Chains A and B, each alone.
Chain A
Amino acid sequence: MGSSKKGPAGAGGSREAAGPGPSSAVPRPLRPPAPRRRGPGRGMAAAAGAVPVAVPVPVAVSGADAAGPGEEAAGSVCPGPARVARLPLARVKALVKADPDVSLASHEAVFVLARATELFVETIAKDAYVYAQQGKRKTLQRKDLDNAIEAIDEFAFLEGTLD
């Protein structure tokens, strides 16, 4: 007898009515969700727990949709090409500090180093790709890199360091 049957709650149940107020609320202009940056160094043990210096420019630039794991890149002032991928200055600084002869490096020095490293990565990738093309491949492989290092003088400093 006492089986308390509850009627189907779903039908017609208006869960929207939070308060007794009038249902027609003044429509607020929807604001685009602020692109929150992911926490520093997701999954990566950032040296000394440093926060990657993201570019905190107010305007959210297309292309930096705050997706993608571990992407530190944020919108840049001028939405130009190839300006978005930025290596975290904190990591670069950690490498600089690893040199026992170096005492201090200025902000700008670390920045220029980071930027130079980006250019370096671009360069070596392109140079290695030439060898992949020769081998009629569309996938860059380790041997392409080795070939590039051997052939190109500027990369001589890398010999023996990648193994």
Chain B
Amino acid sequence: MAERPEDLNLPNAVITRIIKEALPDGVNISKEARSAISRAASVFVLYATSCANNFAMKGKRKTLNAGDVLSAMEEMEFQRFVTPLKESLEVYRREQKGKKEARKDKDKKADSEEQDKSREEENDDDDERMDEEEQNDEEEVDN
């Protein structure tokens, strides 16, 4: 387990990928630079959390919400992140909603499958898709 918060690193592979996508083709990154960026990312999360928490406390809330994080970005002088973050949040919310509805549909289909044998092929495809949806909802309470 990590001894200090800064030691909780984010996965190297993902960090590397983000860096490579941000830079033009053919550009490389040294190991030291990559690990420094990874560390910087962890520090960023810690700092942003702390900022966001201040906003939550101001609002007399104990749970950080998305708005607190957005306010933190502005506070940290990363205003240019706010708009893309809001967009991503919208997409995320729609995805979450879609997941819930897909679950409901799955239950419905389980019933209708027994009745509808002629549509076997279609259902097979759906089942395959359903298998992929390994949900693992976080335990935190949504606000």
Contacts and interface: CB of A to CB of B under 8 A. Distances in A.
Interface string A69-113: 111110001100010011111111111101101111111111111
B30 A141 contact: yes
Contacts, number: 244
B18 A106 contact: no
B140 A116 contact: no
A162 interface: yes
A103 B14 CA distance: 27
B37 A124 contact: yes
Main secondary structure of the interface of B (DSSP, over half): helix
A107 B135 CA distance: 14
B111 interface: no
Contact of A77 (B5, B76, B85, B91): B91
Interface in B36-83: 36-37, 39-50, 52-53, 62-66, 68-70, 73, 76-78, 81
A139 B27 contact: yes
Nearest to B15: A121
Contacts of B37: 121, 124-125, 128, 145
A56 interface: yes
A16 interface: no
Given A73-B17, A108-B65, A108-B142, A101 B53 contact: yes
B2 A106 contact: no
B17 A153 contact: no
B68 A55 contact: no
